[in-house]
Every structure is written in structure tokens, then in C-alpha cells.
Amino acid sequence: MVSLGRRDSRVSREDEPNHNLPLPTFNAQQLEERFAQKGLGLDEMVTLSGAHSIGRSHCSSFSNRLYNFGETNPQDPSIDPIFARDLKTKCPQNANNGNDPTVPLDVLTPYRLDNKYYKNLKNHHGLLTSDQSLLSSTSTAEIVRNNARHGQAWAYKFGAAMIKMGYIDVLTGSQGEIRKNCRFVN
């Protein structure tokens, strides 16, 4: 998961141990509920999910999609079989023996924040269940397709949604502090 938060040293509830972040196994409805709890709408949720255009994920966050999906399908049928085969070379089934490799969340442009994340979803190259579910859900699929088609519009919406997210659960008064060094409590 990508760490997206304040860089101005203000402390929010996001700094508490329970980050209340969506799990990588969430489906679109669970994501929608979690984002709605924070006052973010469906379009903002899908738009902010585009942050997965950068960053890496531990294999343990999605290995169930490759090896232990279900009784009738050992591999998640929503993942492209060639993409899954490539992931299996990077994330062997027994890799969790003290070693949990990481892979890019976005295989097209892993070091660039752009709308290629949505193109990955359209090609069934979404790494996390929570990502790929955005294409399979009728409430979010069209937003995914629009974000894949209109990169500049997505970038504008992403900036606006990040600003809105920055105002969520800001602690004030004796509940919060402005840190002198963001990494340490004063």
C-alpha cells in the first residue's frame, strides 16, 4: 500500500496505531463503505485508489489470489493468467518462510503517479483484490474506464481528492500537535 498522508507535520488520527485503512482483500462495496465513513464519495474513492500507480506490495497481500483462491478455482479467475504466471515467479507459494518479497503495484509505470493503474485493471492486472474489484463492480467500473481514458482529468480529480482527504480527522487542541520533526512525537 502507498503511504499517503500529511507531509506538513500535523498529526491526525492516521498516526494512531489503527490506521483504519481498507484491507487489500476488500471488495468494491467494502471500500465504498470505508471511504464513506470518512466523507469521501464513490468517484473520490476510485480516484484515490489510483495512488496504487506507485509503490509496492508484499506478496502476502495477494498470494491468496494466486494459490488458494477457492475450492473450484485455485487461482482468482479475475486475474489475467499470464500476469498470474509472472507473479508466481516473483512470489513462490512457500515464500512466506520468513521472506515476503514485494512487487510493484503498477507493472506499467511503477515509479510514476499516472492513470496507468486503471489501464492495468482493464487488462486484469490489478494486484490486490481491492484494486481489481473496482472493475468488476457495476458501481465503479465506468469510473475506472473513464480514469483510464482521461489521464489529465484523473490527475485533476486526484489532486482535489487528496486535498479533501487532508482535512479528514485533523486533531486540534490538546488532542494533536504540530510536530517539529514529522517522524517523532514532540
Residues at the binding site for substrate are 22
Q: Are 107 and 82 in contact (CB under 8 A)?
A: no
Binding residues for heme b: 52
Helix 42-49 and helix 151-166, axial crossing angle in degrees, nearest 10: 110
Residue that is written with C-alpha cell 482468482 in the block:
76
Nearest to 44 by CA among 160, 135, 170: 160
Residue 97 has a CB neighbour count (10 Å cut-off) of 7
Binding residues for Ca(2+): 106, 109, 114
Residue that is written with C-alpha cell 517539529 in the block:
180
Binding residues: 22, 52, 106, 109, 114
Strand partners, 57: 103
